[in-house]
Amino acid sequence: MDQQVTYNVHRVIQGPFECDNGDWWLTCSVEDIEAKEMFEDDIPFISFEAAYKFQSHFLKTIDPIVINVPYEGEEYV
């Protein structure tokens, strides 16, 4: 059974930065809604433009962005 974990991304801390395989990443302040915990995590993007657009959201508002991450057991997919 496929499950999803819902997170609120509250802000971008660092990035965008590119890894060796060409993916772009942002280090973000993230809230696990169910566990009510805050943590920092790197979020992948397929392009610089996608990462920049995501980051630009926080220049206009303090509202978080809700993301859903597929989860199987103890592993994200």
Determine the structural domain holding residue 42 and report its residue range. 3-76
By residue count, the chain amounts to 77
Burial 5-42 (b: 16+ CB within 10 A, else e): eebebbebeebbeeeeeeebbbebbbbeeeeeeeeeee
Contact 46/35 with Cβ under 8 angstroms? no
Q: CA neighbours within 13 Å on the CB side: how many for 53?
A: 7
pLDDT digits over 4-55, tens only?
889 999 999 999 999 999 999 999 999 999 889 999 999 999 999 999 999 9
Whether the model pTM is above 0.85: no
Domain count, the chain: 1
Structure tokens at 18: 């590119």
